[in-house]
Amino acid sequence: MTPSPQPQPVVIVGAGPAGASLAMLLVERGVPVTLVEAARDFQRQFRGEGLMPSGLAALESMGCGPLLARLPQRPLSAWSFQLHGQQLFRVEEPLEGDRPCTLISQPALLDALLERASRAGGFQWKPGVAVADLIESGGRITGVVLSDGSRLGACLVVGSDGRSSLLRQRSGLELERQSSPIDLLWFRLPSHPRFEDDNAFTMLLGDDGSACSVFHGALPGELQLGWVLNPGERIERSPEAWGETFAALAPGWLADHLRQVGPVISAPLKLSVQVGCCRRWQRPGLLLLGDAAHPMSPIRAQGINMALRDAIVATNHLLAPLLAGDTAAIDDSLKRIEAERMPEIRRAQALQQQEARQAQWLRRSPLLRLVLVQLAPWLGGRIGQSWRQRQIPLRQGLAPVQLTV
């Protein structure tokens, strides 16, 4: 009797949204997976929390609806844009359908995905272990070398190790970089009771073109604030000075709060924005997903949402050849994954760039800001409606993605 083919082992490097969800999906379907993560836990200072309807739908497609309900989260109630302390427009959530943009603690989400994966046989979890290099044999990637010198063999290596992906560098897969007009300083500060009842994502733009966004994050009692920098710009201020700087942009009630909490504002985290897309996401035995393949702009929180959608498409194409142990079919499936995902990523990044250009015009044009402030009572509604329509493709996704296996 001919023995049945054995499922082939997969090594996934990087336990962010793409890596953790792909590991869970594959191991639950009988594929042995080793998930390697350089960090010992997920509690770093910044992890994107914004799940758009497309990301929420992706998690529900994975059967994670009950899991989501248990996680720390907070929906957005609206998007508010303020110029010189005056509201230009406000758009209520949800913008369409019945799913509002929802902020979910990413560390809690990743822990929950791993916990579910661990309940399936064939899952190995290696936290606090860095990957040093790829193993190649006969023109095909066949595993990874870990930082302690040990080696993990695999029929497929998936690089989901972020925007500075070591696997991308070692594999020779080239990232086509796009210019980004901004960097960000990210702050955490105590919340105000008004955000508990009305969690509007609030954009503040000042007389001098300075800008920041502020909203209540997923965790109780915590505001998150992103201060817009020009690329390469450095600003150093005391917490009290930052409180005064933020207050200068805000309406009265929020300005008072920002001054009050100034002394306890966290030291900022500098986020150097990197945007781009690899010309190729794959080579025999290797697939890049998430930020490793296509680092996204922070505009409209696309990174986590696209990563989850990547994992679904990868599972759809990879499952059958992995279960069959067919190396040639595995490599063919990598090309199909890239071909299916590339158009949505390219289009999303183009829309993000369009939004960034419009924001830059506003930041750099005092005359435009002055005109908008003066005409806000008459034009604010129309501007808000135009903005709303532009957001829907980025929220809903630009291609159908559904788990089919």
Q: What is the pLDDT of residues 134-193, one digit of tens each?
A: 999 999 999 999 999 999 999 999 999 999 999 999 999 999 998 877 888 999 999 999
pLDDT value, residue 54: 96
Q: Which residue has the tokens 């899991």?
A: 67
Identify the weakest region by mean pLDDT among 5-9, 42-46, 66-70, 240-244. 42-46
pLDDT value, residue 96: 87
Would the CA dihedral through 157, 158, 161, 162 be positive or negative?
Answer: positive
pLDDT value, residue 334: 98
DSSP readout, 287-347? EE-GGGT-PPPTTTT-HHHHHHHHHHHHHHHHHHHHHHT-HHHHHHHHHHHHHHHHHHHHH
Give the mean model confidence (pLDDT) for residues 62-79. Answer: 93
Contacts of 105 (CB under 8 A, 6+ apart): 49, 71, 72, 73, 218, 219
More confident residue, 308 or 41: 308
Give the mean model confidence (pLDDT) for residues 25-31. Answer: 97
| Residue 1 pLDDT greater than 70, yes or no | no
Whole-angstrom distance, CA of residue 56 vs CA of residue 305 = 8
Q: Model's pTM, two decimal places?
A: 0.94
Whole-angstrom distance, CA of residue 271 vs CA of residue 326 = 42
286-336: per-residue pLDDT in tens? 999 999 999 999 888 899 999 999 999 999 999 999 999 999 999 999 999
345-404: per-residue pLDDT in tens? 999 999 999 988 888 888 888 888 888 888 888 888 899 999 999 999 999 999 999 999
- Classify residue 320 as exposed, middle or buried by CB count within 10 Å of its CB (0-12, 13-18, 19+): middle
Whole-angstrom distance, CA of residue 191 vs CA of residue 338 = 42
pLDDT value, residue 45: 54
> Around Cβ 323, how many Cβ atoms within 10 Å?
18
pLDDT value, residue 364: 84
Is residue 102 within 8 Å of 37, Cβ to Cβ?
Answer: no
3-state DSSP of 96-114: CCCCCCEEECHHHHHHHHH
pLDDT value, residue 128: 94
pLDDT value, residue 232: 77
Give the mean model confidence (pLDDT) for residues 38-65. Answer: 87
Q: How confident is the model at residue 2 (pLDDT cuts 50, 70, 90)?
A: very low
Where in 194-311 does DSSP place strands (E)? 200-205, 211-216, 222-229, 269-271, 275-278, 282-283, 286-288
Give the mean model confidence (pLDDT) for residues 335-348. Answer: 97
| Residue 46 pLDDT greater than 80, yes or no | no
74-132: per-residue pLDDT in tens? 999 999 999 888 889 999 999 988 899 999 999 999 999 999 999 998 999 999 999 99
pLDDT value, residue 74: 94
| Residue 216 pLDDT greater than 90, yes or no | yes
